[in-house]
Structure 1
Amino acid sequence: MENWAIYANPARALTDVTIACVGAGEYGGTHEGFRGRQLRSHAVVVISEGTGWYSSPLTGDIRVEAPALLWLFPGVAHGYGPHRSGWTEHWILFSGVATRALDELGAWRRTVPVVPLDRTPETLTTTFAHLREDLADSGSIGSLRAAAVSYAWIVALATSTMRDAAPDLIDAFTRGATRQVSMETRAHELGMGVPQLRSATLAATGLTPLQLLIESRLARAQSLLVETDLEVSVIAQQVGFDDPSYFSRQFTQRRGSSPSLFRREQRRMPTLTDDRL
């Protein structure tokens, strides 16, 4: 397999209504990996051969064994890389308003970014051959085709891993993080009391229910700050904060910069130009 990477600048019309492909590539080798990186878009990575690791502040270090996929989110620090024997990865960078619908529908689980696959997708080779050809065409037709191929690939991966899989407690709790309801109501909906919920979240994540709720909301806010031009007050409301000032204080305290500064810093990040994601 030949290593390649192509990055695109799709039309705003695509990102405003659906998903656009911002880049794609294939890589096989033994790069050392990286930690603490933040993307400006969503990404999906399929590891088809080899083993390695994934790391984020929420999950810690997780072993990755092919076949597996990684979901990466804009503005959220993470890292990954192969073990010494190397691995093969195929990746797509994507952005657009439809990512919010996929998020709410449970296409991915932010608390479970590494997902084992039963087998390597049969369409992997043809999908990335099409993407390479489409992205090489920098015109509107190439952008449309790349968007269609990417969306089909993302949906196929999401539905294959969602099939027959009920959300676990932490996933169910964080998926409803944007709702403005009491902790008692959240616990009751999960079939337990607040003390039981506290014990469960502490055991699974080391965070109290309130801490986990805030972290989940802030992670979604980071993505919106990076990918959209929405006002900070609108983002605060969309992720579950009814007081924009409280949202800004929590964001600054836990992320080390204000929402506005975070947005400016992320948008000054250079575009990736190496031969892998």
Structure 2
Amino acid sequence: MYHTWMRYFTPNPVHHRLGLVCLGVGLQHGALPTVGPRTLDHHVAIVISAGRGWSTTPDGRRHPVTAPALLWITPGVVHHYGADPETGWDESFVDFTGPAAATYTELGYIEPDRPVVPLADTGPARAAVGRIARAARRGNPLLEVETSAAVHELLVALRRARADTDADGDPVLQALARDAFLPLSVAEHAARHGMTPAELRTAVRRGAGCSPKDYLLGIRLGRAKELLVGTELPVSAVARRVGYDDPAYFSRLFTRRVGTAPIRFRDRQVHNVPGGWSTEIPDPNDPPLVSGWSG
């Protein structure tokens, strides 16, 4: 015995330019029928929140699936899976496609070589699926945009929920972020962690989807922008604050990556608030308000 609910959509070409579009959503539970063997031309994320079952790889080997887990179905790859007929399972799925799927794959959010991914928690992922399901009401004029946004959210939730990811984040990435403004080479960062540069590259690529150099650069340039906008420090001082002893090199690097020179970036910002930046992240449930505002 099983129960199922599903909806399917056909986004138009302009919606595909959102990067990802949702093609379908479903919520099912019980001793569901076996699926496949079959191939699809799009991606499917299947979140198993309770129960157990099995899945086979393209070479025919069968692997157990125990909740909480994620099944990845990728385009053109044969898949075959099913719930244990004795226990069944609780399943929610989202079909999606779009050019951004290739980028999410490159960044490690979608893992074609890892079709079964153990999860630590399915709550946030199921919440994203729930938003898609609620948007699926007939006649919703915002359907395609709402569901597209939720697919992006779902991929982030699934990446964060992987059982092999520490709840507080990857310790290597945390340490790199902490030391990002020190004038250290990638080799020196690796040595601080007892790793070779190749090992550090592998760890950062898996955790952040980029090289250690790009990961550090993103943090440095983000901080440089904050200092340019929120202080009156000269560019040379900003460069030193974010780890560059040569202000000319920093300016060239900033210009190449940001698309404008540091001084022009500062001039274009209309919200200069010298001394006004806070290091505390606002509570979204209790955001800061302008006291005494009367309208």
Sort the TM-score into its range (normalised by shorter chain): 0.5 to 0.7
Structure 2 gaps, min length 5:
173-196, 200-295
1:31 alignment counterpart:
32
* Higher helix proportion: 1
Asked if structure 2 preserves the Cα contact closer than 8 Å seen for 1:59 and 1:111, the reply is no
Helix, strand or coil for the counterpart of 2:75?
Answer: coil
Question: Which digits, 9 at most, give the CA deviation of each residue in 1:122-154, with x for residues without a partner?
Answer: 462x43332122122455511101111121011
Contact 2:53–2:89 (CA<8 Å) still a contact in 1?
yes
TM-score (norm 1): 0.55
1 or 2 for the larger relative contact order (CA 8 Å, sep ≥6)?
1
Deviations 1:45-99 (A, max 9, x none): 1001100001122472110000001111012111111001211100000010000
Alignment correspondent of 1:156: 157
String of CA shifts for 1:175-229, please: whole Å, max 9, x gaps: xxxxxxxxxxxxxx979xxxxxxxxxxxxxxxxxxxxxxxxxxxxxxxxxxxxxx
Q: Tell me, in whole angstroms, the C-alpha distance in 1 between the residues paired with 2:140 and 2:160.
A: 30
Distance (Å, rounded) in 1 between the aligned partners of 2:82 and 2:139 = 30
What is the alpha-carbon distance in structure 1 between the residues aligned to residue 117 and residue 133 of structure 2?
25
Match of 1:93 in 2: 95
| TM-score for the superposition, normalised by structure 2 | 0.52
The count of aligned residue pairs is 168
Task: Give how far 1:117 is off.
Answer: 0.9
- The AA in structure 1 aligned to 2:152 is Y
Q: Secondary structure at the match of 2:120?
A: coil
Query: Judging changes above 3 Å, is the alpha-carbon distance between structure 1 residues 165 and 73 closer, same or farther for their aligned structure 2 residues?
Result: farther
Partner AA of 2:66 in structure 1 = E
Q: Paired residue for 2:112?
A: 110
C-alpha contact (below 8 Å) 1:4/1:26 kept by paired residues? yes
The residue identity in structure 2 corresponding to 1:29 is G
Partners of 1:123 and 1:110 lie apart in 2 by 19
Residue in 2 aligned with 1:73?
Answer: 74
Structure-2 separation of matches of 1:13 and 1:156: 26
In the other structure, the counterpart of 1:18 is: 19
The Cα shift of 1:165 comes to 9.5
Map 1:33-182 → 2, pairs under 5 A: 33-58=34-59, 60-84=61-85, 85-122=87-124, 124=126, 126-138=127-139, 140-161=141-162, 163=165, 164=170
Note the 1:193-204 alignment, pairs <5 A: none
Give the conservation status (yes or no) of the 8 Å contact 1:107–1:155. yes
Task: Please give the root-mean-square deviation of Cα atoms over the aligned residues, in Å.
Answer: 2.5
Structure 2 CA distance for aligned equivalents of residues 59 and 118 of structure 1:
27
Identity %: 30
Unaligned runs of 5+ in 1: 167-188, 192-277
Q: SS at 1:136's partner residue? A: coil
Distance 2:138 2:156 in 1: 24
Structure number with bigger Rg? 2
